[in-house]
Chain A
Amino acid sequence: MARQIVIDPVTRIEGHAKITILLDDQGAVEDALFHVTQFRGFEKFVEGRPFHEMPAVMARICGICPVSHLVASAKACDALLAVRIPETAVKLRRLLNLAQFVQSHALSFFHLSSPDLLMGMDADPAQRNIFGVIQQQPELARDGVRLRQIGQKIIEILAGKRIHPSWVVPGGVSNPLTAERREQILAMIPDAFAIIHRTLDWYKIAFEQFRDEIRVFGNIPSLFLGLVTESEPGEHNAMFEHYDGKFRFVDESGNIVLDQVDPARYMDYIGEAVEPHSYLKSPYFKPKGYPNGIYRVGPLARLNIIDRCGTPQADREWTEFRALRRGVVLSSFHYHYARLIEILYSVETIQRLLNEPDILSPKVRAEAGVNALEGVGVSEAPRGLLIHHYKINEQGLLTWANMIIATGHNNLAMNQSVLQVAKHFVVSEKLTEGMLNRVEAVIRCYDPCLSCSTHAAGKMPLQIELKNSRGEVIDELVRG
């Protein structure tokens, strides 16, 4: 008799979701589905509101990565103003965005995933959490808190104390950086470098024990999408670009499928399919159709699409990273590794930007009224490519909004990853902790943010279920 297993909720991810595993008549895994049970809200909520409110409003989508929405939204509003914002404002926005990478990646790595990495996937769930990490390796836990603190502190110094800063505005930023604040940030940089190097050293030894998981944790062929610096075709000199830049699609063999595409043309290449089992849409690469147009975004994708990072320390780490596999790195387990390298890159770049001569320039905002009725803002968020697209009327009121968020881009890949893990680890009709932990852990590799991806402005629980071929639930597990 065919059976179905459902994991509900998946713990230690931002937001909540549910996993269903379907077994065939022989008890082998036939299919697996990752459901997001939240509803969409923000795209409708913002209709009729003045466009200049959007950055502050959109930042409310998520309590973890408000800065990402702030930046993408402000860029969409820049397009409505049809202005070129001052260079210093671009640099200050970059600083803010990179500080967001530091704090968000730190949360994902240290608080959500390090318990699995330190204690192993079969450890008792009662111990396999941040408190278990504190007991076994207190320095690792302290480093995690400190690194997040540094990222948050930089955001606070730049943008004010609120978790949802309103410093980023259409046309630039509201206030220039002062010399005193620059020094405050620079003073934290050595600490950040020490932590990230210490963590990379630890991780490069720790991940060796997860060879089995690396082999089946989303080790799938797919395209990879992200932003890269502008370059001439064929130059092979594209670097990390987390704020601006052009689209690049790379396939599983490392071939560039599409390059230097204006992100405002995203609709030409990205379609959004809707599945009845989830509120989360399934974006796909249009030229390959649905569902063959599966692609991944985020840290792993970004490291796979570039020709180099663009900073010396991150470049050295990237070279080692790419040596894991000839060509691009396919296993989603390595999202963790990629996250650490991006933290290193972020700290290096924050330091470089703060030392640029015009960083204290008072010219940080371009003033204008409505000059275009449609605007697209695209930037990289910690979890991947973030797209905000608005249409307004002559009065500047929103008439339509569309957002594609990193977790959405990765939806097809997360589903395939869950299926791959389930096929490997679900070997009987009996639910085991080790199996459930691995199914959850593969989802955590993507660090999904369900509040963001469904624009639900909140959270709700998720669960694991086992069903037979008639759709009857024969087992269930609820955690968290």
Chain B
Amino acid sequence: MSWSEAERHVLIIGIGNPMRGDDGVGPAVAERLEQVLASEPVRVMACQQLLPEMADDLSRVELAVFIDASCDLTPGEVRCLPVEALLDVPQASTHDFDPPGLLRLSKQIYGRSPRAMVVAIGAESFEFEEKLSPTVMKVFDAVVERVRQIAITQSVGKDAGNA
């Protein structure tokens, strides 16, 4: 089944540079989710950094999930945090627009922003390489499954009028 943009209530954004080792985990998870969620009303994006025009994308969905590598967590540790909680937690990385900033932009320009969470994955290496470390690879499938569950729950909930 194919879905129109207007029917996609969940937006997943994988953030990072695939040429910097574990920094590429966000885009890698997003790429896998694009396959496993192909039949769901979920939109998946991958980017090197968050950009202001994504505020428009955010304003059109009910839930946003940001997936990003973290240099603050223990390598391999995975944390799912509502975006509000990030205001008190060191930012996962130094991307110019962080998720709270982008959500604020969405709210102020378009009048709405979705509920949002960040899935942070503790990174081991940011060296120049196009592969994930064994430590991050160990948790990779679990992260994919966790985000898939979150996305499906939300999209089903929306269909049932529970969003």
Bound together, the chains give a CA A149 to CA B18 distance in angstroms of 24
Given A131-B104, A149-B53, A458-B17; A164-B94 close (CB under 8 Å): no
Bound together, the chains give a CA A103 to CA B95 distance in angstroms of 18
How many residues belonging to B are interface residues under a CB distance threshold of 8 Å? 24
- B51 close to A148 (CB less than 8 A): yes
CB interface residues, B 26-62, toward A, < 8 Å: 45-49, 51-53, 55-56
Contacts of A16 in B (CB 8 A): 94
CB interface residues, A 65-116, toward B, < 8 Å: 66, 103, 107, 111
* B109 contacts the other chain (CB 8 A): yes
**Residue in A60, A66, A461 whose Cβ sees the most chain B Cβ within 10 Å:** A60
Closest to B105 in A: A130
- B17 close to A60 (CB less than 8 A): yes
* A2 contacts the other chain (CB 8 A): no
Of A135, A144, A145, A457, which is within 8 A of B17 by CB?
A457
Given A57-B19, A458-B23; A144-B48 close (CB under 8 Å): no
How near does chain A come to B53, taking the closest CB pair, in angstroms? 4
Contacts of A148 in B (CB 8 A): 51-53
Contacts of B126 in A (CB 8 A): 458
- A145 close to B19 (CB less than 8 A): no
Count how many pairs of residues, one from A and one from B, have CB atoms less than 8 Å apart in the complex: 73
Contacts of B23 in A (CB 8 A): 458
How near does chain B come to A256, taking the closest CB pair, in angstroms? 39
How many residues belonging to A are interface residues under a CB distance threshold of 8 Å? 35
Bound together, the chains give a CA A441 to CA B46 distance in angstroms of 31
CB interface residues, B 1-21, toward A, < 8 Å: 17-20
* A63 contacts the other chain (CB 8 A): yes
Of B19, B47, B52, B94, which is within 8 A of A457 by CB?
B19
CB interface residues, A 128-168, toward B, < 8 Å: 130-131, 134-135, 138, 141-142, 144-145, 148-149, 152, 161-164
CB interface residues, B 137-159, toward A, < 8 Å: none
A interface, over-half SS: helix
Bound together, the chains give a CA A131 to CA B56 distance in angstroms of 15
Given A134-B108, A148-B53, A460-B94; A60-B18 close (CB under 8 Å): yes
Contacts of A64 in B (CB 8 A): 49, 51
User: Per-residue 0/1 for A452-463: is the Cβ within 8 Å of any B Cβ (1 yes, 0 no)?
Assistant: 000001111100
Contacts of B47 in A (CB 8 A): 63, 163
**Residue in B19, B23, B45, B95 whose Cβ sees the most chain A Cβ within 10 Å:** B19
Closest to A41 in B: B128
How near does chain B come to A401, taking the closest CB pair, in angstroms? 13
- A163 close to B109 (CB less than 8 A): no
* A202 contacts the other chain (CB 8 A): no
Closest to B45 in A: A161
- B105 close to A131 (CB less than 8 A): yes
Bound together, the chains give a CA A258 to CA B76 distance in angstroms of 56
Contacts of A162 in B (CB 8 A): 46
Closest to A134 in B: B108
Of A45, A131, A164, which is within 8 A of B128 by CB?
A45
Could you list some 21 contacts between A and B, CB below 8 A? Answer: A42-B128, A45-B19, A45-B128, A60-B19, A62-B48, A63-B17, A63-B47, A63-B49, A134-B105, A138-B108, A141-B108, A145-B105, A149-B56, A152-B51, A152-B53, A163-B46, A163-B47, A457-B19, A457-B128, A458-B126, A461-B94
Q: Give A residues with C-beta under 8 Å from B.
A: 14, 16, 41-42, 45, 57, 60, 62-64, 66, 103, 107, 111, 130-131, 134-135, 138, 141-142, 144-145, 148-149, 152, 161-164, 457-461
In addition to A63-B48, A66-B48, A141-B109, 5 A-B residue pairs with Cβ atoms within 8 Å of each other are: A60-B19, A134-B105, A134-B109, A135-B108, A144-B52
